[in-house]
Amino acid sequence: MSDAFYGPFDREYLRNESNPERKQDYRSVFHQDRDRLMFTSSFRRLQAKTQVFQAGEYDFYRTRLTHSLEVSRIADSIAVWLSVANPDAQLDRHLLEGICLAHDIGHPPFGHAGERVLNHLMEPYGGFEGNAQTLRILTRTIYSKPESRGGMSPSRALLDGVLKYKRLYRDRGNATHHFIYDDQIEVLKFCFGDSDFAAQLGDIGVNAFRSLECQVMDMADDVAYSCFDIVDGYNARFLTPERLQNWRDSNKGKLDDQQEKHLAELVSMMMESKLESRMNRIIGELIQSASLTSWENFMSARTRRYAYKIVIEPLAESRINLHKMLCRDLVFGSSELQQMEFKGGRILSQLGQMLLQNYLEPAAQLAVLVPNDVHRGVVSSETPAQRARLLCDYISGMTDAYALRSYKRLLDPDYGSISELI
């Protein structure tokens, strides 16, 4: 059972000045983690954040919330499948669910366009990255107050499972993403139990060093968005049999034999109006393409979470890569989505610039441009970097609709009234 797979090292939870001790009850530590995460406004706000298409535009497109739920279910099936051939690798289902539900909780409004904008605005103050923000939410902002920022006191296994990237911002080189914030080195030390991880990992391949739960989550994420983005793209009429055939003709020589076959199958599914039902079967096949291999490293003797690596069959990787290429070229690369991304990024950029200017370069009279509790926390911060980070927390936590309303309220002369609730 999963209890034999995890030890005290895995179950230990993060303590800080706001969370010196965690109360135990009838639930396991991992069960508590999942519940503490799920019943929060940070998680609920994912229902109104863009996945591919703008949240709320139609009722059948996926949002960050439905995507996270689907990732958690796919990950659960991967774990069950892997345990069939590897009875000793019994992943805790509550832990894995919590990791998957949390994996996108740090993403800002307007998808990756919003992430790029916030990273640019925060460049002088430590950058912005969705995965790093997820860690910050778990360890600092969930259940916090302006005077007490201790997060939810997550377990080591949960934090490590969410921790896709381990390169610090200061070590990013020319990379514009896939880093964590410099002050999150303390999270790294906690996850690795104060092991000399820097010496062990070095700079090369540091982001590829992941626990088994993190690997399962990442595979489930890959399967979910590569398959379901195809379905949403088809429902939105960005992907049609004609467009796929034209795309195939313009990419001759770039596709292998299996990708040619998979592409023909997609065209057939669309023509028969059976794409969604058959895509569910494809997901099942992709799940069963995974297997485990033993892995020895500096952590494997300390925790079994680092004793295995996931291996995916080449044919499955070929299909996933085909789906990604189709979505990149025909959906994400379309003028319609590019225009929406541009507009969302512009809205967030102007909103962020205005808030940073007001609070970091105050005039004689500082305006209260954010909710009162956020305002108090920002003005009581000691350094510009701390102020900027709290403003970034506020902006990145917005839903698409709330970001748009905030933009209109502050910048549109014809919008809003004194009676409008903030």
Q: Report how far Cα 300 is from the mean position of its chain's Cα atoms.
A: 26
Cβ 237 vs Cβ 297: under 8 Å: no
Q: Whose CA is closest to 108, among 337, 345, 354?
A: 345
| Fold entry, domain 2-210 | Hypothetical protein af1432 (1.10.3210)
Res 175: pLDDT: 86
pLDDT at 4: 85
Q: Where in the chain is the domain with CATH 1.10.3210.10?
A: 2-210
What is the rounded CA–CA span in Å between residue 273 and residue 166? 43
Give the type of residue at 381: S
Tens of each residue's pLDDT in the chain, 422 residues: 467 899 999 999 988 776 767 788 899 999 999 999 999 999 999 988 876 666 555 566 788 898 999 999 999 999 999 999 999 999 999 999 999 999 999 999 998 899 999 999 999 999 999 999 999 999 999 887 666 667 888 999 999 999 999 999 999 888 888 999 999 999 999 999 877 777 777 666 789 999 999 999 999 999 999 999 999 999 989 999 999 999 999 998 889 999 999 999 999 999 999 999 999 999 999 999 999 999 999 999 999 999 999 999 999 999 999 999 999 999 988 898 889 889 999 999 999 999 999 999 876 578 999 999 999 999 999 899 999 999 999 999 999 999 999 999 999 888 876 556 55
Radius of gyration of the chain (CA): 22
